[in-house]
Amino acid sequence: MICIDNSEWMRNGDYAPSRFQAQADAVNLICGAKTQSNPENTVGVMTMAGKGVRVLVTPTSDLGKILACMHGLEVGAEANLAAAIQVAQLALKHRQNKRQQQRIIAFIGSPVKYDKKVLETIGKKLKKNNVALDIVDFGESDDEKPEKLEALIAAVNSSDSSHIVHVPPGDNALSDVLLSTPIFTGEEGGSGFAASAAAAAATGASGFEFGVDPNVDPELALALRLSMEEERARQEAIAKKAAEDTENKDHASSSNNDSVMAEAEPATNAADDDKKEQPKDDDDLLQQALAMSMEGGSSGSASVADAAMAEAGAVDPDLALALQMSVQDANMSSDSDMSKVFEDRSFVTSILNSLPGVDPNDPSVKDLLASLHGQGEVRSFLFLS
């Protein structure tokens, strides 16, 4: 159960951009970490100030709901820590799954007006009911606040399940400081989410293959992976047949293709900056590919190819780009080695199997595969249903 401090003290800007915003970011990060680390975890959110001590969302594992409730929170009034902890306890007591451990994470940014004794009795009551407490001490810091909060944690703590983190104002964002604390890493000794988030923050680029997070954009990641594989296969074949490739047109076009592929590779390997340039290139390449496919090759199959491309493109422009690249190869050199690759049934079916929404047993797909061999020409038709 997360207790947010949305009192007047949160308007201060000593944590960028404002205390309240830094706190909200930290809360979002914690919710994500908790829900990811264990599918049975639930998180609830409540406010300590503002309109009063109230529960915004009861413990749930739905991250969207939690993030949505953080919207439109107003800052004002004074935080009531004792009442907030009581309400949090009550909310935890009425959780759906009684086997879950109870924990309260409190962000305390305003001064604490209770004295040590009161806090200690609160702590004892929490310990008696087997509730763990994590405190993030930030914002206002008067002389006694750290002591009081330490006393509270000492009263609650039973076998090291409760923690306190003091975050002084400064350059580091509240969330970054919290990432390395036991509040994030939790009892089980680290969660994958926290670890990868920390790694991402540290290196400045995601550690994922192709610079695209498969969780965020699976289609793009898939398309990029496909084009990488095709390029790799093509490069191998070209290396074998390098001596035979004497036509200037082929050279020029394959070097054009190489530059296109080379462009794709740095884009796939490097960080996000390159991806901004790609959309512009996409359009150019699209025009190029359409023009070329109009000129060369048999018009019938080309127009069908276009239709297929348009259909695929309508669904996903990035996927279309990958398809364009593979079709370009086909149009460039008629006895391209891609044909050999694509005639390899197992390769095609394996690609088809790995694509979402394509069922290789679908009769239309089967007909296609048959026609592929019949034509002796290379097209890859992907119907996205």
Partner 1 sequence: MAAANTAAAGTATAAPAPAAPAAPVQVPRGQVDLVDFIDWTGVECLNQDPSHSIVNALKQTLRDDEGLHLASDSDEQLLIYIPFMQVVKLHSALFKGPEEDGEICNSCNASCVITGPKTVKLFSNKEHMGFSNVNDYPPSDTLDLSADHLVENKPATLKYVKFQNVRSLTIFIEDNQSGSDVTKIHKIALYGTT
Binding site for partner 1 (CB under 8 A): 93, 98, 124-125, 127-130, 158-159
Q: Identify whether 17 is preceded by a cis peptide bond (ω within 30 of 0).
A: yes
Least gap, CB of 133 to partner 1 (angstroms): 14
Tell how far CA 373 is from the center of its chain: 41
Nearer of residues 98 and 276 to partner 1, judged by Cβ: 98
In sequence order, what are the beta bridge partners of 136? Answer: 107, 165
How near is the Cβ of 87 to partner 1 at its closest, in Å? 13
Q: How far is the CB of 83 from partner 1 (least distance, A)?
A: 16
Shortest Cβ 116–partner 1 spacing (Å) = 16
Q: How far apart are CA 186 and CA 182, in angstroms?
A: 5
For the bound state, the minimum distance from the C-beta of residue 139 to partner 1, rounded and expressed in Å, comes to: 30
Give the whole-angstrom CA distance, residue 345 versus residue 343.
6
Q: Which of 340, 338, 334 is nearest to 250 (CA)?
A: 334
To the nearest whole angstrom, how small is the minimum distance from the Cβ of residue 383 to partner 1? Answer: 52
Question: Which stretch of DSSP H or E encloses residue 195?
Answer: helix 192-203
Which residue's CB is nearer to partner 1, number 155 or number 338? 155
Nearer Cβ to partner 1 (12/58): 58
Q: Which of the 8 DSSP states describes residue 52?
A: -
> Cβ(7)–Cβ(79) under 8 Å?
yes
Report the SS3 class of residue 43. strand
**Beta partners for residue 104, in sequence order:** 133
Closer of 128 and 232 to partner 1 (Cβ): 128
Nearest approach, Cβ of residue 362 and partner 1 (Å) = 49
Between residues 7 and 42, which has the closer beta carbon with respect to partner 1? 42
Could you tell me the smallest distance in angstroms from the CB atom of residue 181 to partner 1?
23
Of 99 and 249, the one with the shorter C-beta distance to partner 1 is 99
Rounded-to-integer distance, Cα 353 and Cα 163, Å = 49
Beta carbons of 209 and 215 less than 8 angstroms apart:
no
Pick between residue 158 and residue 259 the one whose CB is nearest to partner 1: 158
| CB nearer to partner 1: pick between 153 and 321 | 153
Type and span of the H or E element at 191:
none
Closest CA to 4 of 95, 90, 78, 105: 105
Give Rg (Cα) of the chain.
29
Q: Select 94 or 251, whichever has its Cβ closest to partner 1.
A: 94
Nearest distance, CB of residue 123 and partner 1, angstroms: 9
Residues 15/22, Cβ–Cβ less than 8 Å = yes
Q: What is the CA angle 339-344-345, rounded to 5?
A: 125
For residue 61, the minimal CB distance to partner 1 (Å) is: 20
Nearest to 52 by CA among 14, 97, 84: 84
| 102-108/54-60 β-pairing | unpaired
CB 342 within 8 A of CB 274: no
Nearer to partner 1, 129 or 203 (CB): 129
Burial label, 174 (beta-carbon count in 10 A; 0-12, 13-18, 19+): buried
